[in-house]
Chain A
Amino acid sequence: MPPDGNAVEIRNLVKRFGEFVAVDHVTLDVGRGEIFGFLGPNGAGKSTTIRILCGLLAPTSGSAQVHGYDVAAQSEQVKQSIGYMSQKFSLYDDLTVEENLDFFSGIYGVPHELRAERKAFALRMAGLEDERASMTRLLAGGWKQRLALGCAILHQPPILFLDEPTSGVDPMARRQFWDLIYAMAEQGTTVFVSTHYMEEAEYCHRLALMYKGRTIALGAPSELKAEHGDGATMNDVFIASIERAEEEGL
């Protein structure tokens, strides 16, 4: 395991689908233990970038390292080191909460002696201890998201990729979900999270604004807001950055 260095290093990353450039020369670093936000409208290239980082898509050019492994050449080592949860709820609806957890525990190869403890942790974290025998399809949206997160961290990955984890979830459940993200960051997990909710961007240590495949702004929320003058909100920063990018001929 690479002891030092950044959790994620992206250099000139490009992804083309035919003529369409989904990711356009993105370069950025994410430090260990950071909550790094990816903010941008739909179609900005957030999901594509995250999928490349998870080894689900091959980059067209440029490079990316996750936990010190190259995502193109060492995608299997990358997969050992990450947890991934996507916007589309992706658990088995026709299995119970517990069966979902057991399944992913087995697939991730969590050592047998740790399984009970990890499952208990995931259930406690997601607040699903009383629902362990419930069929997953019967859970409310917020609970499903937390169960998905629980399944993604069973193997205690040092880096967690969350692709719009809270889309379609009510504000209360969103708040609870972010409490979980903070709890994990405190334990040293790097969290790479994309969102299109402005208020969620404020929760991140640092964030990148994505627009048409490019990063048009990068920094801590407070820094970004300061650049745009007193009293600027994240929304102001976002709109101003897009206008500037359009003027530059993007």
Chain B
Amino acid sequence: MTLKTILMAGALSLAGAAASASCAFENTVPLKSLTAGFEAWKAATDAMAECGNFSASLDQEFKEKQPEAFAANPALYQIGGVANETLIPLLNAGTIRPLDDLVAKYGENLTPNQLIKIDGEIMAIAMMVNAQHLMYRQDILADLGIEEPKTYADVLAAAEKIKAAGVVDYPLGGTFKTGWNLAQEFVNMYLGEGGNFVDADNNPTINTPEGIKALETLKAMTAYMDPEYLVSDSTYVQQQFQQGKIAMANLWASRAAAMEDAAESQVVGKVKMASAPMGAAAPATSLWWDGVVLAANMSDEQAEAAFKVVMEGMDTEMVQANNDAAVWLVPGYEAGPLAAGAAASAANGARPYPASTALGILHSALGNGLSAYLTGAKDAETTLADIEANYITAAKEAGLLE
């Protein structure tokens, strides 16, 4: 193989990409995007790339890079992928632009549900929703005569039966990795109990009976989990499911498709999606959205080109090609059995993740403080009091609290 052949092959593949591009227009403005790195973003940014002159960074550390990259002038990325929580730092810093004019001009295919409005202005375009919900092995539960668990009491009772039957290594899986994941589990549980995180003056309000209940449920679950739960993240739990090591978990809807991936999964067709188990007030989960923002620090024509590219990336065609990669909000999406869990959770009244500056600080404090309770170093009340104290120190340092 000579250099010439390689160059030819390269040129051909480039030409091929250009020819197969299903983008409605040819983009001439160089554009870059920084988003999270899961399957749905891969699908969306691949579709955007078809317009040409576009390069995507799919990065697990995107939330640490985005605030600085968007604060630069001109911004280092024109297009950003955000969720409820990661929108807040950008919104606070004023580094993203309102999209009303662009939506009026090019957004004819968007549904009102996709428009994230802050104080009347459209600040982001959502493409999908995500939530943690119950996934369970219907073959195992049916064999043991267990009904679909509706509450955490049911989940624990089912786990006890599965443990007694000894059909899997661990009855439960959980995204309990210290840090963001574990804090998110608490947030879900606490929302399910009907708790509120901060009061109107940003003082923490988690050291409550609801908070203690949430902690106790989490701890009760750990008895049925892999003892190394403090290092297990979503991918680890997904793999445990795929390898048939666990029977139930409250896992992200965006991981559902992986259960049906015959190349990786040994449990194809055996995992059923159901509503997140109920807490005292609501399903123990929170609704998230993922979507796109545009940087403020760029010219109007760049913004126009960026918006048009984004619309191409989030169109019906892309969704039809990647129907099961996410629970899309884009027209043309057909909710299949994999979306049933997220849909049922929403129908049961799941609350959205109440993103705010205060909860951002509290989420980090929770991530650092919760493991002390699960390992038995502290009792529930001390744990919550210490997390509140940590939150207060951090919030004071940030200027949020006097």
Chain B binds chain A: no
Residues of A within 8 A of B (CB): none
Residues of B within 8 A of A (CB): none
